[in-house]
Amino acid sequence: MSTQEKSRRSFLVDSVSGLGGVWVLANYPEILAAEEHVLAEDESADFAFFTPEQAVEVEEMTAQIIPTDHTPGAREARVVRFIDRILVGFDRDRQDDYTQGLQDLAAETKRRFPSADKFSDLIYDQRLEVLTAIETTPFFNLVRTHTITGFFASPVHGGNAGKVGWELLGYDDSLNHEAPFGYYDALPQMRRGGTTP
Amino acid sequence: MNMREYRSQEQVDFIVIGSGAAGGIMAKQLSTAGFSVVVLEQGGWGKFGHERDYPKDELLNRNIHPEDRLISNPQRQRNTFRRNDREDARPGGHTYGCVVGGGTVTYGGSSWRHLPWEFNEATTVGTIAGTGLADWPITYDELEPYYTQAEWEMGISGQRVDSPFVAPMSKEYPVPPVPMKSSGALFHVAAAKLGLSVVPGPLAIITKPYMGRSGCVNCGLCSGYGCHVKARSSSAVTMVPLAIETGNCEVRVRSYVREINVDNGGRVTGVTYFNADKQEVFQSARAVVLSANAGESARLLLMSNSSRFPDGLANSSGVVGRYLMLGGGGGASGLFEHPLNDYKGVVSGTGILDYVPSDPDRGFYGGGRLTSRGYATPISYGLSGLSPGSPRWGAGYKQALREESNHRMNISCFTTQLPLETNRVDLDPDVKDEWGLPAMRITSTSHPDDIKNMEFFRQKSIEILEAAGATKVWAGPVRDSTGGAHNRGTCRMGDDPNTSVVDKFHRAHDVPNLFVVDGSNLVTGGRNHPTMTIQALAFRAAEHLVLAANAGDV
C-alpha cells in the first residue's frame, strides 16, 4: 500500500466512528476500487460537451498554461476531461464562451500563421505567441481559471489525475495531520516551546 | 431527530430569531429553564446531526449548490453599499452565516475576550470628537463569569497567560491550544528579535475529545467549511442539540422573518415570517429575542415599522442601525526558505498582541492583533497564491508554484474601528431582496484614525516577516471594509434611552418584551474579534431574562 493510500485509509478510519468505522473497514476494498475506477476512466470515452476536435484544441491550451516538464502538466492531469465535465455541470452557462472562444482562437491562429488551420497545428513557439497575444481576453482567463482549478481539484472531478497537481504543490490530501507540520515548527527548540531559532 | 413542534396559533414563551453565536445560546438557556421556544432560522439544517457528511472538497465548496449554502447569498439576500450619503449605493457583497448555527458553523473560531479597559475606553482613552466612542453600561468584571461559562459550555481551546495584552481569566481553558504551526514558530523567531510576545490563540476548535465531540484532526479545510468531526464548537453542535433535547424547543429552518408584530399597547405579539414556500406565517409569542446579527437585526427592526413606531421598532432614539462597525484589517505575506506546510491545521494559530492597546505616541487612536496564518488550499493557491510579479501561466508559472508553494505565510491583522453615527445599516429605497423586502443598505467609511491604524499594522506585519527571515515580503494597500461577518454595533447597549437601543440586560428601551442579543449590542468593537464577547453577553442576557420571566417581568 502506498503512503498516499495509507494516509487516505487512516483518514477514512479516524474520521468516522462506531458503526461507520466498521463499515468503512469492511468495505474498504470496494471504496478503493471505486476510486480506481474513476481514475482509470477510459481515455477514449466520449466527451460530454466538446467535440473531439474542440477537445484537442482545449487540451493543447491547457498544456501551455500548465506545461509538462520533468513533472506532469495539465495534459497528464487530464484537465480537459475536468473542463468538459463542469461545462455540463455547474459551469454549463459558460458553454457558449468556449464555442465562441475556440472560433476566435482559430481566427487568431490563422491571422498570425496563415498556413495553419487550427491552434494544434502550430509548433511550440507559435502556440506561445498566439496565447500571449490573447492572454488578457476573457476567454483565455476562463480557460486559465478552469485549467488551474481542474489541475488542483480532487481527482473525483475528472482532472488532477493521479493527484499530479497536488504532488506539484507538495500537498498531502490525507485530511488527518499531526504536528509538526512544517520545517520551522519541527525545530527542536520550537518543540520545547522555545523562542529562538 | 425527535423535536417538539408547536402550532403557529399557539402562543409560545419566546421566539428566538437566529440560531448563531447568540441565538443558539439563548434557545438553549431559555428551553433548559423550562420555557417554550421557537427558533426561526433563515438558513437550512446544513449537516446537522450527520456532520461527517460535510464535504471536504475545495471545488464543491467553491461551487456550492444553492440549497447547501452555509452563508447567505448576495443574489438572494441582496444588499447594497455606499461610502457616504452622497453616493448612490451599488450592489454589495455582504454575507453572513445562514444555517442552523449561523456563522459559527464555518468561522475560523477566534475566541479572544475583550480586555477590561475595552469596556470604558471613553474614560481611559478619552472621547474622540466626531465619534461615538462611549463606555459600556457593564464592566469586564460583570461579564467575566459569562466569558468563563461560554468557554466551558462551547468548548474553547487555548492557554491562559499572564499578560497585560490579554484579558485576565478566572479559570483555565477547558482544552489545550492547537499545536504551533510553522507560521507560529516564525512569529516566535521575529518576536524574540523585536522584543514582542506571542500568545497561542484561543479557538472554538477543540484539540481533544470534549463533551462527546472529537478533537481536531488538522484536516486543513477549515474556515468556510463545515467541520466533519465536530471539532469546531459551533452553536449547531453545542447549544442547538441541547435546546432540542429539552423537548421545549422547536427550530424552524428556512424561516425568513419579515416583521416583528406589536399591539396597540406597544408590546410585541409575535413575528411574521416567510416559510420555505414563501408563505407568510404568524407565530404568536409572549416575548421575542432578536439574534439575527448586527446587520439583519437592525434591518428587521427598521422593517417593523407601525403607526406606533413609525421609524422602526425600538427606534425612538434614532440609533437603530447606526454605529455600525464592519471591522478593520491589513497585513502582509512572506516567503521563507523552508516549507511551512501551513495548509495543515486551523487557519489562525498564534497572535502578537503587543499593539492591542492604543498608544497616544502613535498619533492616532487604535490597536489590534496580528495573527499568523498560512492558509491556502490548492485551488485558491494556484489561482492567486503566488507572490506579485510571478508568471500567471506557462513554464514560469509552474516553476514558481514549485518554488513557493508551502513556503508562504501571511499575517492578518484585526484592528479597531471607531463607532461613527454616520456608518449604518438602513433600508435601501430601491432594491428589494428575493422576498420583496427592502434590501439592507450599508453606508460606511472608516474614521481617519482607523485607516492610519491599519497602515500601522501593515507596516508592523512587514517588519515582523522581515525579522522572521522572509526571503520576500509583500503587502497590498490597506482597504476600508465594505461588509463581512464581523459586523457589530447597530443596536448599542446603554443606560440612556436617547442614545442607545437596549438596556444593560438587552431589553429594548421602547418595548418591554423585546430583547436584542447579538453583535449589534457592542458599544465598541474591541480588536475586531467579536464572537466570544457575543457569546458571553448571550449567557448573561439569558440568565437575566430567565429571572425576569420567572418574576413575571417580561
The reply to whether B41 touches chain A by the CB within 8 Å rule is no
Residue whose C-alpha is closest to residue B407's, from B482, B494, B342, B483: B342
Name the band, by pLDDT with cuts 50, 70 and 90, for residue A41: low
Q: What is the pLDDT of residue A18?
A: 32
* Opening angle at CA B17, ends B13 and B20, nearest 5: 120
Q: What is the pLDDT of residue A7?
A: 40
Residues with Cβ < 8 Å from B177, sequence gap 6 or more?
B157, B158, B159, B200, B201, B202, B203, B207
Q: What is the pLDDT of residue B484?
A: 87
- DSSP conformational letter for B225: S
Q: What is the pLDDT of residue A188?
A: 85
For the residues B16-43, what does the mean pLDDT come to? 98
Query: Locate cell 459550555: which residue?
Result: B153
Interface contact flag, B214 A197, Cβ < 8 Å: no
A191 near A113, Cβ under 8 Å?
no
Q: What is the pLDDT of residue A191?
A: 67
Name the band, by pLDDT with cuts 50, 70 and 90, for residue B150: very high
B392 — alpha (psi -120 to 50), left (phi > 0) or beta? alpha
Q: What is the pLDDT of residue B521?
A: 98
Name the band, by pLDDT with cuts 50, 70 and 90, for residue B181: very high
Name the band, by pLDDT with cuts 50, 70 and 90, for residue B517: very high
Nearest CA in chain A to B394: A65
Query: Locate cell 407601525: which residue?
Result: B306
Beta bridge partners of B198: B352
Q: What is the pLDDT of residue B499?
A: 98
- Whether residue A29 is predicted with pLDDT greater than 60 in this model: the reply is no
Q: What is the pLDDT of residue A44?
A: 67
- DSSP conformational letter for B152: I
**Over pLDDT 70: what percentage of chain B?**
100
Name the band, by pLDDT with cuts 50, 70 and 90, for residue B65: confident
- Whether residue A27 is predicted with pLDDT greater than 80 in this model: the reply is no
Residues 127-186 of chain A whose Cβ lies under 8 A from any Cβ of chain B:
128, 131, 135, 144-145, 147-149, 151-154, 156-157, 165-166, 168-172, 175-186
For the residues B328-334, what does the mean pLDDT come to? 94
- Whether residue B136 is predicted with pLDDT greater than 90 in this model: the reply is yes
- CA distances (Å), origin A19, targets A23, A25, A35, B226, B340: 6, 10, 22, 22, 36
Name the band, by pLDDT with cuts 50, 70 and 90, for residue B379: very high
Neighbours of B109 (CB within 10 A): 29
For the residues A53-74, what does the mean pLDDT come to? 98
Interface contact flag, A156 B57, Cβ < 8 Å: yes
- CA distances (Å), origin B365, targets B323, B356, B361, B371: 17, 11, 10, 20
- Rounded Cα–Cα distance for residues B226 and B510 (Å): 39
Nearest-CB residue to A179 (from B179, B378, B382): B179
The amino acid at B358: S
Provide the angle, in degrees to the nearest 10, between the axes of the packed helices B531-550 and B21-32. 30
Query: Locate cell 442614545: which residue?
Result: B499
Strand arrangement, sheet containing B79-82: B90-91, B79-82, B438-443, B424-432
pLDDT tens-digit series, residues A138-190: 999 999 999 999 999 999 999 999 999 999 999 999 999 999 999 999 998 87
**Over pLDDT 90: what percentage of chain B?**
96
Q: Can you tell me whether residue B473 is helix, strand or coil?
A: strand
Q: Give the residue from A185, A189, A190, A196 with the most B CB atoms within 10 Å of its CB, the best one to mutate.
A: A185
Q: How far is A52 from chain B (nearest CA, A)?
A: 24
pLDDT tens-digit series, residues B9-22: 899 999 999 999 99
- Whether residue B255 is predicted with pLDDT greater than 60 in this model: the reply is yes
pLDDT tens-digit series, residues B451-486: 999 999 999 999 999 999 999 999 999 999 999 899
Interface contact flag, A15 B392, Cβ < 8 Å: no
Query: Locate cell 438596556: which residue?
Result: B503
Q: Can you tell me whether residue A122 is helix, strand or coil?
A: coil
Q: What is the pLDDT of residue A10?
A: 38
The reply to whether B182 touches chain A by the CB within 8 Å rule is yes
- Rounded Cα–Cα distance for residues B121 and B127 (Å): 8
pLDDT tens-digit series, residues B160-171: 999 999 999 999
Name the band, by pLDDT with cuts 50, 70 and 90, for residue B348: confident
Q: What is the pLDDT of residue B37?
A: 98
Neighbours of B473 (CB within 10 A): 18
**Residue B548: phi, psi to the nearest 5?**
-65, -40
Work out the mean pLDDT of chain A and round it to a whole number.
83
- Rounded Cα–Cα distance for residues A130 and B81 (Å): 41
Residues with Cβ < 8 Å from B50, sequence gap 6 or more?
none
- Whether residue A34 is predicted with pLDDT greater than 80 in this model: the reply is no
Work out the mean pLDDT of chain B and round it to a whole number.
97
B507 near B314, Cβ under 8 Å?
no
Nearest-CB residue to A157 (from B59, B405, B406): B59
Q: What is the pLDDT of residue A1?
A: 37
B83 near B442, Cβ under 8 Å?
no
- Rounded Cα–Cα distance for residues B282 and B261 (Å): 9
pTM for this entry = 0.93
Residues with Cβ < 8 Å from B60, sequence gap 6 or more?
none
